Amino acid sequence: MESSTLKQVLGILLVVIPLFVPEVVVDATPLRPAAAMVIAGVLPVITAWMFAPQFALAAIPLAGLTNGISVLVFGHTALATVFAVVVAGLLGLSARWGLHTAGIFLAVQPMITIIAGHPILTFGTETPGRAAHALICAALAMGGGLWTVAIGAVLLRNESTGLPDQVPWPIVGFYATALMAMLGAGTLIASTWLLGSAAGLVLATIVIVTRPTYDESRTMIAERTIGTLIGGFVAAAVAAIVVNVSALVLIGTAAMVVAAVLQLMHARYAWFVTFVTAAIVLFNAPHGNVFHVDVERVVWTVVGVVTVAAVIAIAESVFGRYSDREA
């Protein structure tokens, strides 16, 4: 590895490792089942920070709001569908200012929660109600966001790049409409017939791979599919070799750190997905169903990418490549 690359990696690790501290702390408390909510606040805020600190600050309450509401609407098909459509519309509109890359991370966990359900917390013999769970999940997401801003203020003070290029309004309209249609229909179907399953990964995949233009979306589809398949295979192989559950979780944590480094280095998305998939599958080792999670993640991801690919193909055949033109 060249010295400049090594220096870059070490610099990124100096930022990434502290970002995982709140999750590690939460994982050692009764809030452990909801530890993922901390990351749901970290990811959009660190992405927004790279544009400007004010966008990172704005992402904190949005992370709390979206994750809290997703808990409340779970199990209510109509409300969940409306919520998904609203999130999709706002995500689409954010592309006008190039902020959709941060918006994507705001939407991913809520899309999973409205179908799979929220983590169940227990304090002694007491289990809080739905509203309390929503507040706790919102607080964890906002806590993760606040911690990220603190890390950014100390270690990334001069790293913001400013807003990316704006996306023309006609393309924004297409992007928002496509997201609203797919997430609305997907939520209605999954919430009606697949509630409590991992089918929320279909919605999350739609959020991640759908981009403002056809070509961007096709690239994301290919990268997401390749990364998920490789990551799933690697995780299965590791789980077959390593029998110690704590070791599997440790390997999963290491994989997530590598994924974060790759993301900040702007590496190929397929590599990022490979390590994230392996991490998520191995994180589930304490529950004793690593292979089940592995297969589910691959299957639902494929369903998601096939859905987006089909919508893109239909849209391009009906409307041509208008959405790829500058306005």
Q: What is the pTM of this model?
A: 0.92
* Tens-place pLDDT, residues 116-143: 999 899 998 899 999 999 999 999 999 9
Q: What is the pLDDT of residue 327?
A: 38
Determine the 3-state secondary structure of 209 from DSSP. helix
Q: What is the pLDDT of residue 105?
A: 92
Determine the 3-state secondary structure of 126 from DSSP. strand
* Residue in 282, 95, 58, 311 with CA at minimum distance from that of residue 206: 311
Cα-flanking dihedrals φ and ψ of residue 123, to 5°?
A: -115, 100
Q: What is the pLDDT of residue 190?
A: 97
Q: What is the pLDDT of residue 297?
A: 85
**Residue 106 pLDDT greater than 70, yes or no:** yes
Of the given ranges (45-54, 142-151, 232-241), which has the lowest mean pLDDT?
Answer: 232-241
Q: Which residues of 116-149 are buried (b: 16+ CB within 10 A; e: fewer)?
A: bbbbebeeeeeeeeeeebbbbbbbbbbbbbbbbb
Q: How far is CA 230 from the centre of its chain?
A: 18
**Residue 227 pLDDT greater than 80, yes or no:** yes
Amino acid (one-letter) located at 122: T
**DSSP assigned state of 289:** -
